[in-house]
Amino acid sequence: MKIKFDDLECGLEICWNRNVNEVGGHLKNKLLELQDKHEMIGEVRGKGLFCGVELVKDTYVTLRCWLIR
């Protein structure tokens, strides 16, 4: 049985993407749990392993700024 390199590469890419989405989802859930525990975390956002956390000095000031916009 012969397997072309292109087919194997495509299969590895699919597995890689699935793993990134699973691990990224776990990462984002843990960051959201930290957000509930700590007032200095303003917002958690992102997709996959590309996540961002907004650190704020005062949540009241941050909320007021968002409402003014």
pLDDT tens sequence across 13-38 = 566 677 888 888 999 999 999 999 98
DSSP annotation of 57: S
Evaluate if residue 55 carries a pLDDT over 70: yes
Measured in degrees and rounded to the nearest 5, phi and psi for residue 48 equal 65, -135
CA distance 4 to 39: 53
Q: Which domains does the chain have, with CATH numbers?
A: 5-68 (3.90.1150.10)
Tell me if the pTM is above 0.85. Answer: no
CA distance 45 to 66: 16
Tell which wins on pLDDT, 60 or 19: 19
